[in-house]
Structure 1
Amino acid sequence: MTDTETDPRTGGRPSPLLAGVGGPRSGYDVERVRKDFPILARRVHDDRPLVYLDSAASSQKPTRVLDAERDYYELHNANVHRGIHTLAEEATALYENARDKLAAFIGAPRRDEIVFAKNSSEALNLVAYAMSNAATSGPEAERFRLGPGDEVAITEMEHHSNLVPWQMLCRRTGATLRWIGITDDGRLDLSNLDQVINERTKLVSFVHQSNILGTVNPVATLVARAREVGALVVLDGSQSVPHMPVDVVALDVDFLAFTGHKMCGPTGIGVLWGRGELLAAMPPFLGGGEMIELVTMESSTYADPPHRFEAGTPMIAQAVGLGAAVDYLTDLGMDAIAAHEHDVTAYALEQLTAVPGLRIIGPTDAVDRGGAVSFVLTGSDGRALHPHDVGQLLDELGIAVRVGQHCARPVCLRFGVPATTRASFHLYSTRSEVGALVEGLGHVGRFFGT
């Protein structure tokens, strides 16, 4: 089906995937945006309206994305890169078109710098395991080799996805893991930056926006220091790419990892962007079909990036859905989305600060801060309420928040709390939902007699 052919399933209208849907909107109307997300109209306990404040864990999906995946399966389903029949060619075109959209979305100079993975965790592990595999690769992989005496630098506010892979890499190679600490107000403590990132540092990996503190980190400062010592830079964009304009050229990093399900796309797909010359020198992570060039019983050679890193049948429908999510975000405008979320976050910080017994873990102002707000509640007896109790009572009111350590246990240890309650916002969040949260926390306080 070409972009001028019609879709019999839709009564003669063009296929949404091959013809495109919608167009840019003028202005930002959050109530109109909310109508694009069917799940936000749900009623939950005792017919209460759903107040979804858990977007840092996973965003909701607009109809446009749901339609794109369904359309792929109903009209174009086939494996990619391996067939010459119509469905295979359509599936391949849709899959690779999604790659083009993602390259444009983050300002990548080349489409072949976009590698599909199943999530940010796999994307980060891809880099970590490629560095392990470099030990048995050719001289072109020298930049990725680690051994005793070499160091990897991260921060104390990392998600486990950007901590555990580097711990494992250091154990495999004998390298040393170093980290930048956190100040009392939830910012990076850069007082010893030159000692943590030093002449032995081979790689620096850090989060762009913290999933637990909401902190937006000073990328330029960290990149500048890494460049001084010749270290590679990996940026975890899981919480930034969905919420603000991101340009990899302007950021000047070497790798960027992010995930589809936090940016209104499907689960099961993420992205690793890497500089083309680095991807070309990196050894593969997984072996199998699709990632090879020539295979004999004795040895194999590998395909050029990005296919070198996409072994086996890829996440085709998910890539198509992620491409639709990129279209949706682009049409809304990332600047407009960032401004809206900043407004909601600033309002939330103001309102939550006034809740008796509530302590925000992380920055208490909206400067260089995203919309993940973690907090603990203390009762009138001075004892902290368990976040699970807080979350359960809020859920009974229809308010969905996240409780626990948020895959960032070192942060909880740093602030001396076993866990936190986290409210997080996205492009469809509203001030009225913040009001519902504050009212719900009042109910929690009354329930526990605080």
Structure 2
Amino acid sequence: MTVTLVPPPAPLPARTAPASSRPLDVLGVPGQINLDHAASAPCARAAADAVAELLPWYASVHRGAGALSRRCTLAYERARQTVGDFFGARPGDHVIFTRNTTDALNLLARALPTGTTVVTFAGEHHANLLPWPRGSVRLPVPAGPGEAVRALDAALTELRRDAPPGAGGPSRPAGPPVLVAVTGASNVTGERWPVAELAAVARRHAARIAVDAAQLAPHAPVDVAALGVDYLAVSGHKLYAPFGAGVLLGRGDWLDAAPPYLAGGGATSHVGDATHEVRWAAGPARHEAGTPNLLGAVALAAVCAALAEADRDELHAREQALLARLRQGLAALPHVVELRTFGPAAPRVGIVSFVVAGRDSGEVAAELAARHDVGVRDGLFCAHPLARRLLAEAAARSGRADLPPTALRASLGLGSTARDVDRLLAALAELG
């Protein structure tokens, strides 16, 4: 990925907010335990500092010659470069700033070539179920990562069975485009999906693959080149940068050939006097009409830079220890049943969904908040088909007929502690 930067403006004045020596510390309210990172993560100090530093300079982006505007344009394009580098963008990839993962996947859905078939699984978040065109293929929820790979291979084989050989030979069949859309980590169970293996299957069948990394990116490194994926969607508000920015990153050809996601200023290279006499821009600008979310982009880039400097292995080990503590504690409570798609030992990020037998999940969540200052999520987590299936399976597995129709979810992240986990477990024990 190549980004051309404008010449730097005059030197910055003294910083308006000192840079934190602990950029991955998160902001919070004393006494409140936040175990709802999977919905929206707290703000990292790096993001808050970056926004505070830029605010006095805030001005237009790509639209002015003054020092303020030039500074903001530089900050915006540097943010694009930083985010692209963090996620392993390749030459020819576009980094398009969006509002969130849902927005990014809807943008990609609008950019698909005519006739594209999208293949996804029924275990996806609604953001990766609902935007795709009619005729898309929805595969059943697999029992394990290996089954997911085999099911995708079978589905793509069937789709390509009657397609004539392409210019690249029999191994590169022609026919309508195919896009595989899959999550990197489940927002319901935290279980990690075999993205690299699914990408290899997609490539073998000349299909492209898009990954919803909203839940994976906050917990583990994600590199599109190393994984072999074509598109990546990410939310800043789940990545400790809650300033309204997300990203669609991926191959530029479909994006440059598609109509603009929004029609308006910034997306054009020329507008004539006649109706519809418009030449649309190429590159990210084509899909970023209007005044961009400068502060959101800069905040997200600041967190990406901080994570790039951090010891990700140490962060992973710490989270996995907390996750094991949480799951073991839940398993020891006879009235609590964990939800899962794969086997109990499947790799996962710091997300656990569960039910309390005989208790309404909404009432439990409200009681945890009111009596114990513990915040968790309740409901079906914008993944209704998957959550309903897992609730039914949990009832069958546990042999209990008194499980509620919705679930609770506890999710860990930066700032989570053993004390937080223990407070939740103690509160749930009182409900027994």
Q: Within 2, Cα distance between the matches of 1:267 and 1:117?
A: 11
2:77 to 83, 96, 120: 96
Q: Within 1, Cα distance between the matches of 2:93 and 2:387?
A: 39
Q: Within 2, Cα distance between the matches of 1:255 and 1:186?
A: 21
Partner of 1:412: 387
Displacement of 1:5: 4.1
1:258-291 per-residue CA deviation (whole Å, 9 max, x = no partner) reads 0001111023110000123443334322211101
Displacement of 1:430: 1.4
With over 3 angstroms needed to count, the CA separation of the structure-2 counterparts of 1:402 and 1:84, relative to structure 1, is: same
Gaps of 5+ in 1: 8-13, 26-31, 43-48, 132-143, 379-383, 446-450
Partner of 1:177: 137
1:206-235 per-residue CA deviation (whole Å, 9 max, x = no partner) reads 100000011100112211222222222111
1:427 to 414, 417, 422: 414
1:392 to 366, 375, 390: 366
With over 3 angstroms needed to count, the CA separation of the structure-2 counterparts of 1:189 and 1:232, relative to structure 1, is: closer
Conservation of the 8 A alpha-carbon contact between 1:3 and 1:15: no
Q: Within 2, Cα distance between the matches of 1:187 and 1:21?
A: 45
Gaps of 5+ in 2: 1-7, 161-176, 393-403
Partner of 1:138: none
With over 3 angstroms needed to count, the CA separation of the structure-2 counterparts of 1:214 and 1:269, relative to structure 1, is: same
Displacement of 1:189: 4.6
Once the two structures are aligned, what percentage of the paired residues are identical? 35
Structure 1, 295-304 or 307-316: larger mean CA deviation = 295-304
Q: Within 2, Cα distance between the matches of 1:6 and 1:78?
A: 16
Displacement of 1:444: 2.1
Does residue 303 of structure 1 match 2:284? no
Q: Within 2, Cα distance between the matches of 1:412 and 1:273?
A: 28
Counterpart amino acid of residue 265 in structure 2: G
Displacement of 1:243: 1.0
With over 3 angstroms needed to count, the CA separation of the structure-2 counterparts of 1:22 and 1:394, relative to structure 1, is: closer
Does residue 55 of structure 1 match 2:15? no
Displacement of 1:100: 1.2
Partner of 2:336: 358
With over 3 angstroms needed to count, the CA separation of the structure-2 counterparts of 1:181 and 1:346, relative to structure 1, is: same
1:133-157 per-residue CA deviation (whole Å, 9 max, x = no partner) reads xxxxxxxxxxx221xxx63211121
Q: Within 1, Cα distance between the matches of 2:10 and 2:58?
A: 17
Does residue 346 of structure 1 match 2:335? no
Q: Aligned with 2:159: secondary structure?
A: coil
1:333-368 per-residue CA deviation (whole Å, 9 max, x = no partner) reads 333322221221122111111111211101564542
Partner of 1:370: 349
Q: Within 1, Cα distance between the matches of 2:16 and 2:159?
A: 55
Q: Aligned with 1:223: secondary structure?
A: helix
Displacement of 1:126: 0.4
Conservation of the 8 A alpha-carbon contact between 1:186 and 1:213: no
Q: Within 2, Cα distance between the matches of 1:425 and 1:269?
A: 22
Counterpart amino acid of residue 251 in structure 1: L
Counterpart amino acid of residue 194 in structure 1: D
With over 3 angstroms needed to count, the CA separation of the structure-2 counterparts of 1:366 and 1:327, relative to structure 1, is: farther
Q: Within 1, Cα distance between the matches of 2:302 and 2:48?
A: 9
Counterpart amino acid of residue 263 in structure 1: L
Counterpart amino acid of residue 92 in structure 1: T
With over 3 angstroms needed to count, the CA separation of the structure-2 counterparts of 1:389 and 1:60, relative to structure 1, is: same
The number of aligned residues is 392
Counterpart amino acid of residue 76 in structure 2: Y
Partner of 1:145: 114
Q: Aligned with 2:192: secondary structure?
A: coil
Displacement of 1:161: 0.5
With over 3 angstroms needed to count, the CA separation of the structure-2 counterparts of 1:313 and 1:188, relative to structure 1, is: farther
Q: Aligned with 2:378: secondary structure?
A: strand
Q: Within 1, Cα distance between the matches of 2:205 and 2:277?
A: 37
Counterpart amino acid of residue 152 in structure 2: L
Counterpart amino acid of residue 57 in structure 1: A
Displacement of 1:104: 1.4
Partner of 1:68: 50
Displacement of 1:428: 1.4
Partner of 1:402: 377
RMSD: 2.4
Counterpart amino acid of residue 348 in structure 2: R
Q: Within 1, Cα distance between the matches of 2:320 and 2:336?
A: 21
Conservation of the 8 A alpha-carbon contact between 1:180 and 1:190: no
